[in-house]
Structure 1
Amino acid sequence: MQTLIRTCGVALVAAASLVAGCATQSNSASIYTPGQAQREQTLRYGVVESVREVMIQGQQSGVGTLAGGAIGGIAAGSSIGSGSGSVAAGILGAVLGGMAGSAIENRVDQRRGLEITVRLDNGEMRAITQDADEIFRPGERVRLLSSGGVTRVTH
């Protein structure tokens, strides 16, 4: 019993620390990282040609799979059967938990985005994808801010 409590405690701490690593980087035009602040940006103006809703998928870190596998393996292995039955249940629980954890991580990491196509004042066309936290309409005049390979569309 003491071993079970200790194992569950270790699994819980491991899962909590893994979940802390799930934070995704924002693609919002309004959010800057500390490294982006106080850096000069190139500014261009243009008109929105089109706006298309998209889904932005974060990178799979494997955290969901690991946490789900650990929790599923411990839960199934400690509560089903004994001896080799317990081991088999633990393996099956780990596989199913890993699959469920991966699916959850995939779903949590998706967010709404916009693909904004802009005709610059010089006639060039640009398409920028960013979080859907501002509304853009065709015909609107916008600014494109670019620095270090990152371009944002703002009003």
Structure 2
Amino acid sequence: MQLPPRTEVAMLRALISLSLALLLAACETPPTAGNPAGEAVVRFGQITSIEAVTIEANQRLGLGAVAGAVVGGLLGNQIGGGTGRDIATVAGAVAGGFAGQQVQNRYAGQPGQRITLQMDTGEMVSITQPADANLRVGDRVRIDGAGEEARVRR
């Protein structure tokens, strides 16, 4: 069944809007104490050591790269026709994926800290995060979040 041209355009616009929303969601800053949104894991402990590090890029292909590739591909598909459209679609997908990955790795190359903590549960935890000059060895702190999103706060 052939759809009327206006229906195809409307569907394409809806798909682009959804893709842009996904890309923006991938760029969102994780919730923090000053920006509460939803449920978060909170743990408590004491800092046993702080080591200065440079934050490395996250080399895994993440949601930022995927969403960027989708949006770039859709936008590239709007250019030209035939082989030119195919080339623009591929170029848009590659450029969008690269841009999305860069946004996802926004802390790469910045000064950071590898903080080792003795948790109240007795376990030892190490968290690497952007540098926070207010943290000192011996401080009793809270850890917001878990995994790559974990952050040490006073």
Inter-partner Cα distance in structure 2 for 1:126 and 1:63: 32
1:64 equivalent in alignment to 2:68: yes
Question: What is the aligned length?
Answer: 140
Greater shift, 100-109 or 26-35, is seen at 26-35
Do the aligned partners of 1:47 and 1:142 also contact (CA within 8 Å) in 2?
Answer: no
Residues 11 and 115 (structure 1), Cα distance of their counterparts in 2 relative to 1, 3 Å cut: farther
Residues 101 and 50 (structure 1), Cα distance of their counterparts in 2 relative to 1, 3 Å cut: same
1:101 equivalent in alignment to 2:131: no
Residues 124 and 35 (structure 1), Cα distance of their counterparts in 2 relative to 1, 3 Å cut: closer
Aligned to 1:145: 143
Deviations 1:6-36 (A, max 9, x none): 7565434322221111213645653554122
Inter-partner Cα distance in structure 2 for 1:8 and 1:55: 42
Residues 8 and 106 (structure 1), Cα distance of their counterparts in 2 relative to 1, 3 Å cut: farther
Inter-partner Cα distance in structure 1 for 2:78 and 2:22: 22
Aligned to 2:133: 135
1:75 is aligned, of 56, 70, 79, to 79
Tell me the CA shift for residue 102 of structure 1. Answer: 0.9
Residues 135 and 16 (structure 1), Cα distance of their counterparts in 2 relative to 1, 3 Å cut: farther
Q: Which amino acid aligns with 1:154?
A: R
Q: Which structure shows the bigger proportion of residues in strand conformation?
A: 1
Residues 141 and 60 (structure 1), Cα distance of their counterparts in 2 relative to 1, 3 Å cut: same
**Percent of aligned positions with the same letter in both sequences?**
16
Inter-partner Cα distance in structure 1 for 2:17 and 2:119: 50
Note the residue ranges of structure 2 that are not aligned, 5 or more in a row.
none
SS in 2 for 1:90: helix
Inter-partner Cα distance in structure 1 for 2:54 and 2:32: 16
Q: Which has the larger radius of gyration?
A: 1
Q: Which amino acid aligns with 1:88?
A: T
Aligned to 1:52: 53
SS in 1 for 2:63: coil
